[in-house]
Copies of this chain bind each other. A is one copy, B any other.
Amino acid sequence: MADVTKGRVVEQDVLTAYRDRVERGLVQALDGNAPLRSLLRYHIGLEDEGGRPASTPAKFLRPSIVLFVAEELGGDADVALPSAVAIELMHGFSLIHDDIQDQDRVRRGRPALWTICGIEQAINAGDLMHALAIETALRSSPDAAMCLLRAAREMIEGQSLDLAFERQDVTADGYLTMIDRKTGALLRCAFELGGVAAGVDSRVRSSLVALGNAVGRAFQIKDDVLGIWGSDDVLGKATGSDIRRRKKTLPVVLLFAATAGDDAAALRTLYRRSSPEGETAAAELAAIVARLDALHIRDACEAMIDRYLDLALRRARELPFDAAARTRMERLIGYLARRER
């Protein structure tokens, strides 16, 4: 409970400090009359289904990191703003295509874009948001654009691995390789873009990347935990959906690793029971969660989160921050690793 409270305080601190600026930047980047533009504004949460202004449920994690790091390292937030907006657009693009690929019908408590405009136009909408993301980053600097492009490449390769993993056995190392790309790339990039906007030297830049990598791991493992043990209402999407789609999340990877012999064969059968297009029945889902609980796998995951959280905090101490900035950074890192949604 203490962690949750801490998380909420941070959410009203770093994340709310930059919220208005990010939102204004997004409004500007997504302005335009073409029907595709309206779809993008809906997806990012600036408009509702009828095209009326809405208050977005997006958390703006990544752009807030960019602006926070840039400002605390002495950069000009106005120079950093295009990078911040760009990384949220890049994240938004990936969610549009991910939802199509995973057939997820709900995103942030609202209908996923493809359920509204069809898969064909949702592919276009994602493509447009991808191009707009890089165009916006290029307004910060060529260095920022190159940094975001590298992250995009890694993120797409990670998404490709994540999909391939649905059909194969995965080790813990394989899992980390995947999340370092799918989730870590853009989080590393958020910290790095803040440094780029502040014009830091290569030593500080390396620390930011290492910090982002550790935070990315903690963040994704927390996401995996919430996906199984979180609450539907708080998450805005159905828990258990990762298991239903046979995603190789860390709890599942650890469960397979801890299961041998006949039990392993039975587990594999249980996990594969329904067709790839079908949904695992509620009873089978409950049976899998019971096995996870019997093996205390949630605790093992939380221990890994703590380990990467520690690593991130150590990297944060390498940054040329004053005491107040260090405290805000530590609370931000704590929030990313321990949030409840």
B contact residues around A132 at 8 Å (CB): 153
A160 contacts B36, C-beta separation under 8 Å:
yes
* Residue contact B157 to A34, C-beta cutoff 8 Å: yes
Interface centre among A34, A128, A131, A134, by most chain B C-beta atoms within 10 angstroms, is: A131
Say which size band chain A's interface belongs to. Answer: 20 to 34
Query: Which of these, B35, B145, B153, contacts A128 with CB under 8 Å?
Result: B153
Chain B residues with CB under 8 Å of A101's CB are: 120, 123-124
The answer to whether B160 touches A124 (Cβ under 8 A) is: yes
Q: Within the oligomer, what is the number of copies of this chain?
A: 2
Interface positions of A from 141 to 155, Cβ below 8 Å from B = 142, 145-146, 149-150, 152-153
A97 at the interface (CB under 8 A from B): yes
Contacts of A97 in B (CB 8 A): 123-124, 127
Q: Is residue A130 contacting chain B, with contact meaning CB distance below 8 A? A: yes
Of B36, B121, B142, B156, which is within 8 A of A124 by CB?
A: B156
Residue of B nearest to A32 (CB): B157
- Which of A153, A163, A164 is most buried by chain B, counting CB atoms within 10 A of its CB? A153
Q: In whole angstroms, how far apart are the Cα atoms of A140 and B128 in the complex?
A: 22
A340 interface hit (Cβ, 8 Å): no
Q: Are A149 and B123 in contact (CB under 8 A)?
A: no
**Which residues of A are at the interface with B, using a C-beta cutoff of 8 A?**
34-36, 97, 100-101, 120-121, 123-128, 130-132, 134-135, 138, 142, 145-146, 149-150, 152-153, 156-157, 159-160, 163-164
17 CB contacts below 8 A, A to B, read A34-B160, A35-B160, A36-B157, A97-B124, A97-B127, A101-B120, A121-B163, A124-B159, A124-B160, A127-B152, A128-B153, A128-B156, A130-B130, A131-B149, A132-B153, A138-B145, A142-B142
Given contacts A35-B160, A128-B153, 5 further A-B contacts (CB under 8 A): A36-B156, A101-B123, A124-B163, A131-B156, A135-B150
